[in-house]
Structure 1
Amino acid sequence: MLLIGARVAEPALLISELEIQIESEQQWEQMTSQLPISRDLSKRTLIRCVAKNIIRTLDEPYKSNEWEIELFENPGVNAFAMPGGKLGVYTGIFDVAENSDEIATVIGHEIAHVTNKHSYERAKRDMRTKIGTTIGAAVVAGNIANQPIYTQNDLYEVNNQMNAINTMSQMISTYGLNLPFSRKQENDADTSGIMFMARAGFNPLSSLSLWKKMQDQGKRPNLEFVSSHPSSSTRIKGLSSQLSKALAAYNEVERKPNCRYPK
């Protein structure tokens, strides 16, 4: 029996950061075992150089994490970071990013998703969606179950309604009713990311040049990083507002990283 007025446990109590980290570990192991790893030593060296220079500027515990950094052989223009210190970059990023500073723009942004705990927030949000969907489906299913069935047509109608509920639940579970990260989370990652790269000695002006190129190539296939993020024009405006502060941090770095972009 469903009690409509019953209190549902707060989703935040049903999932922990440790659980998210364990899940990330499992996903990372699956990816590194199944996806092809790039054999281009110069590109792998650059990615690791940029990432490590950014990581050493982070606050604890992220600074001391044993980060695993990998370059996947994939034409997609994409990158991702996962809780527990996992960073993956697709080789397709080199088709757009033309120097180490532009690479740092992408890596700084993805690492910021981890330091801002966006994966944890997203998991809680998705759980609320699924709990709400489950309750709603249960209410509807309960109403359907109480419908009298007198004829074969009545039974056919009930089956159709139950199939519709199952389809709806599967769609919500698959697509989440939202983008991978919310607009606010993406903006926060931009704000943190441009400061991460600047403090590490990467020129924040390159964040604007990268996104202008992304904007120009927005309709190109394999631009997952663009399709799953806010529009480039919106992003450029947001980054421009942070540029003065980022440049000040960049100019304070006396010894800039020597991360050589492959020729």
Structure 2
Amino acid sequence: MSSFNKTSLMQRREVIMGLAAGSIVPFVSGCADNASLGRSQLMLVSDGQLAQLSDQAWRDSLGRERVLRDPGYTRRLNRVGQRVVDASGQGHLDWEFVVFDSDTVNAWVLPNGKVGFYKGILDLMETDDHLATVMGHEVGHVAGRHSAERASQQIAAQVGVSLLTSALGANQNTVEYSDDIGAALGMGVTLGVILPYSRQHEYEADRLGVDYMARSSYDPRQAIDFWVAMSTLHRGSTAEFMSTHPSDENRIAAMRSHMTARGYT
């Protein structure tokens, strides 16, 4: 092999290793500042696109899930939800809070302000402060524009991997391995870029959620109690390295640190 080919191959290997480590990310213009987070975000998805997708997802959820008609659950969710939203500064959205009749221990939010709580998680919440913990976290995702940022990151990652795979595959020394290289690069970007950003989003939503609790006169200290109790349900779950969520220990430690800094403890 000529010295030129050896050098080119070494450069390609460095590129692959860089992507796998998450140190090389496709550059795409489209950053926006987010005052709630105090940082800029990659934004390749318009608010209109996100609203359209969110509306459709909400309609699909209402058609697929069974809505709980118990007025006690509904009143509680709406009472806490509205207080947290008012404290968050996100009142410009058309918020809607729905309880789904399922023992599933989960809650989620769409970027358009549609919030779904399952009966299973509400039954575990002994106080409204516990409910406000999760509600604040979900509203924090909306204020953080995390859905738009995550979608933008995935778009940028896919474009970068496709371009690099095509460039490598065009070379005679790598063409027969182009599929394997593409798969390896895809895994590298997933582990090195997309999942860590998802964990960052979870930490940010936790911090914003605790702040919203305090502003809406709920006790932010009870957020720790709730997540400690929830951690007992996660034994044997996926390792943090391969997860979109932080480990329970890291999440609770980060929340304690934020609360101390804010003077909530």
TM-score w.r.t. structure 1 length?
Answer: 0.71
Q: Deviations over 1:140-160 (max 9, x none)?
A: 44347x96xxxxxxxxxx6xx
Partner of 2:105: 77
Task: Say which SS state the counterpart of residue 80 (structure 1) adopts.
Answer: strand
Contact 2:93 2:113 in 1 (8 A): yes
Q: Name which one, 1 or 2, has greater alpha-carbon Rg.
A: 1
Correspondence 1:185-224 to 2 at 5 A: 185-219=201-235
How far apart, CA to CA, are the structure 1 residues paired with 2:100 and 2:81?
Answer: 15
Answer yes or no: is 1:243 the counterpart of 2:241. Answer: no
How far apart, CA to CA, are the structure 1 residues paired with 2:253 and 2:79?
Answer: 28
Partner of 1:52: 82
Question: CA separation of 1:37/1:58 partners in 2, compared to 1, >3 Å: closer, same or farther?
Answer: same
How far apart, CA to CA, are the structure 2 residues paired with 1:219 and 1:234?
Answer: 14
Q: Which amino acid aligns with 1:53?
A: R
How far apart, CA to CA, are the structure 2 residues paired with 1:123 and 1:211?
Answer: 27
Task: Say which SS state the counterpart of residue 218 (structure 1) adopts.
Answer: coil
Which runs of 5 or more residues in structure 2 are unaligned?
A: 1-25, 31-42, 238-242
- Deviation of the 1:9 alpha carbon: 7.9
Partner of 1:154: none
How far apart, CA to CA, are the structure 1 residues paired with 2:106 and 2:158?
Answer: 28
Task: Say which SS state the counterpart of residue 87 (structure 1) adopts.
Answer: strand
Q: Which amino acid aligns with 2:160?
A: G
How far apart, CA to CA, are the structure 1 residues paired with 2:118 and 2:184?
Answer: 33
Identity %: 29
Correspondence for 2:72 among 35, 42, 45: 42
Partner of 1:29: 59
How far apart, CA to CA, are the structure 1 residues paired with 2:66 and 2:257?
Answer: 39
Partner of 2:92: 64
Q: Deviations over 1:35-83 (max 9, x none)?
A: 2212332112211111011111222xx2132202111223322111221
Q: Number of residues paired by the alignment?
A: 222
Partner of 1:92: 120
How far apart, CA to CA, are the structure 2 residues paired with 1:63 and 1:34?
Answer: 27
Contact 2:100 2:117 in 1 (8 A): yes
- Deviation of the 1:190 alpha carbon: 1.2
How far apart, CA to CA, are the structure 2 residues paired with 1:89 and 1:208?
Answer: 20
How far apart, CA to CA, are the structure 1 residues paired with 2:186 and 2:56?
Answer: 23
Answer yes or no: is 1:130 the counterpart of 2:146. Answer: no
Q: Greater shift after overlay, 165-174 or 84-93?
A: 165-174
Correspondence for 1:18 among 15, 26, 48: 48
Which runs of 5 or more residues in structure 1 are unaligned?
A: 1-7, 148-157, 222-226, 249-263
